[in-house]
A = this chain, B = another copy of it.
C-alpha cells in the first residue's frame, strides 16, 4: 500500500506531517549545501548549533515558555523521567503526590517509591481508568515535594480537562501524548516532559521544560546524565544529543507554526475528535471506552463489546488501509490516535469505514 492510500492511527510512534517528511527527504544527503547530512554534523559545530537553537526558540514561541523555564532535549523517553523527576526533586526523606490515572502514571509512582515516600493522591484503577479524578477528589499533601500527573492517558483514552490546583506544591506533568495540541500556561508547572514520538518528532528525544529554580537538588547517587542541573548547565549537550531527532523536532515545530500554532491545533483536535465521538454516541454497534466528560481528544478508544467482532474490525480496517487501530491489550477494543499530524480526511474516512462496518454487522 502506498502512503497515499493508508491512514496510520498508531498511538506512538505515529504519523508525521507528509510535508515535514518531504523536507527531511530533500535535505537528508546534503543540508543546505553544507556538504553534510544533519546526521553527520558535529554537535559542537556552528551549523548544528543553529539548528538546535532554532528548534528551542520555536518551542519557546509556540508554548510561550517563560524565561524562568529551561527547555531541554534529552534521551530515554518518559520512562527515564519517571526516575529523573524523583531523583532531582524528592530530596532526602521527601515525599511526593501522584495521581494514578493510567498505566504510565502508575509506573511513574512505582519508580518514585525507590527514592522517597509516595502519596497516591488519586487512583482511578477501580474503574479501569475510564475517568479522570475531580479536583475535590485529590488527596493533596501540602508538604509534598511535587504533584505528579499524566495529562493524557494514551492507553485508556482519557485526558485531564483542568490543571490541578496544588497551592505551592510544584506541578510535574507527563504531556507525552498531548503536548503541542493546545495552549498551556507553562508558568503553572515545575516540570513538563514529553517523549517526542506522538506529537513532535520520531522517537529518541524527550523534551523537558523545567523551572530552573527546581534544579540542583538531586540525590547524591543521581547519575550524571539524569541530573537536570547538568543538562541545564550544558544546554542539553553534556554529551552528544540525539542530533537528528532534534532536527526533525525542529521541522515539525516549524510546520506547526505555519499551521497556526497550538491555538489552531486546539481547534483542529476538537473538531477531529468530535467527528469520531459524535458518531460513537449515536452508533448502535460501537461505543466509547472512556466516560464522556473525560474522553481524550488524542486517543479515541472504542469497542463493539464483542472481542471477536473487535478483532474482525481491526483486521478489516487494516486491509482497507486504516493502520494500527487495534486497542492496547490493557483495554482491548480499538483505538484511533489523532495527534496533530493526523488529517481530518483520515478521521472522516475512518468514521465512514466504521459506519459501513456497523451496517454490515449490526443485527
Contacts and interface: CB of A to CB of B under 8 A. Distances in A.
B22 A25 contact: no
B3 A225 contact: no
Contacts of A243: 13, 197, 202-204
B29 A13 contact: no
Interface residues of A, number: 70
Contacts of A203: 39, 43, 240-244
Contact of A42 (B11, B24, B35): B11
Interface string A48-83: 000000000000000000000000000111111011
A18 B29 contact: yes
28 contacts: A1-B33, A1-B34, A1-B35, A3-B30, A3-B35, A6-B34, A8-B35, A8-B40, A10-B40, A13-B39, A13-B43, A21-B29, A21-B39, A28-B28, A43-B203, A75-B204, A76-B225, A77-B225, A79-B238, A83-B224, A114-B220, A114-B221, A115-B221, A195-B239, A204-B205, A204-B245, A226-B226, A244-B245
A191 interface: no
A324 to B, nearest CB: 6
Interface of A: 1-3, 5-6, 8, 10-16, 18, 21-22, 24-25, 28-30, 33-37, 39-43, 45, 75-80, 82-84, 87, 111, 114-115, 195, 197, 202-205, 219-221, 223-226, 238-245, 248, 321, 323-324
Given A11-B42, A13-B240, 16 more contacts: A12-B240, A13-B243, A16-B37, A21-B29, A25-B28, A25-B29, A36-B323, A39-B203, A79-B224, A80-B223, A83-B224, A114-B223, A195-B239, A203-B240, A203-B244, A204-B244
A359 to B, nearest CB: 26
Contacts of A241: 203-204
B39 A202 contact: yes
Contact of A35 (B224, B239, B321): B321
Q: Which 4 A-B pairs have the closest CB atoms?
A: A6-B35, A204-B242, A83-B223, A39-B202
Contacts of A33: 1-2
Which among A13, A245, A248, A324 has the greatest number of chain B C-beta atoms within 10 A? Answer: A13
Which among A2, A28, A76, A83 has the greatest number of chain B C-beta atoms within 10 A? Answer: A76
Contacts of A36: 3, 6, 8, 15, 323
Contact of A245 (B45, B78, B224, B242): B242
A69 to B, nearest CB: 23
A219 B40 CA distance: 37
